[in-house]
Amino acid sequence: MAALIGLDWGTSSLRAALIGPDGAILDRHASSHGITSLPEGGVDTAFAAATGRWRAAHPDLPVLASGMVGARTGWREAAYVPCPAGAAEIAEGLLRFTTADGSVLHIVPGMSYRNPAGIPDVMRGEETQILGCAGEGAGLFVLPGTHSKWVRVEGGRIASFASYLTGELFAALRRHTILRHTMPSLDEPDPFDAAAFARGVRRAADRTGGGLLR
């Protein structure tokens, strides 16, 4: 028995799942048809390829999508929900529309936040992952990636977050600076050295030693 079709639709990939009432994944689909790498026919073709057979078998299932699919450059723009917020506020902000083949799609809006210094920040997709595992609890969630997110959860609600260009900076240094000559190939990486990693973290955190870029 299926209860939901869920899509994690980002910039470079599309992951879809047929989900049961207990949260179990009954079937899944993955492709490289992210918002910036769509097939001929665009979002409608990618959506049909990912979910068409499930929707044919279960025409009344709700379909929920999160990620960059709701960005200005995505399928339809879903306005951000301001932080702090939880599942109730995000549910109220869902963007609902009918696709070209007659299906009703709901897009999760993502979240915005302005820190005490007045600096704005946004995220799309990560809020869905966090609320899916946070429950009513509290804690600090770290989501590594191109733009890594550090998210503070309090009482099951996202209280604050910050983005860091960790992955993007690493990729730029590895591919476009002189340091690339000293680094192993991505195809044949060196084994992980926990002690060296810890030393690097301590060095980066030591402001007296010059910080991360020293």
What pLDDT, on a 0 to 100 scale, did the predictor assign at position 167? 87
**pTM (predicted TM-score):** 0.83
- Local structure of residue 12 (DSSP, 8 states): S
Tens-level pLDDT at each residue, the chain (214 residues): 899 999 999 988 999 999 999 999 999 999 999 999 999 999 999 999 999 999 999 999 999 999 999 999 999 999 999 999 999 999 999 999 999 889 999 999 999 999 999 999 999 999 999 988 877 889 999 998 888 999 999 999 999 999 999 888 988 988 899 988 888 776 777 788 999 999 988 888 888 877 777 7
Q: Point out which residues pair with 98 in neighbouring strands.
A: 104
First vs last Cα of the chain: how many Å apart? 56
**What topology does CATH give the domain 4-164?**
Nucleotidyltransferase; domain 5 (3.30.420)
- The sheet carrying 4-9 orders its strands as 25-31, 14-19, 4-9, 63-66, 104-107, 95-98
Instruction: Give the residue from 117, 206, 111 showing the smallest Cα distance to 149.
Output: 111
Residues 63/7, Cβ–Cβ less than 8 Å? yes
Distance between CA atoms of residues 69 and 92, nearest Å:
18
Every domain of the chain and the residues it spans? 4-164
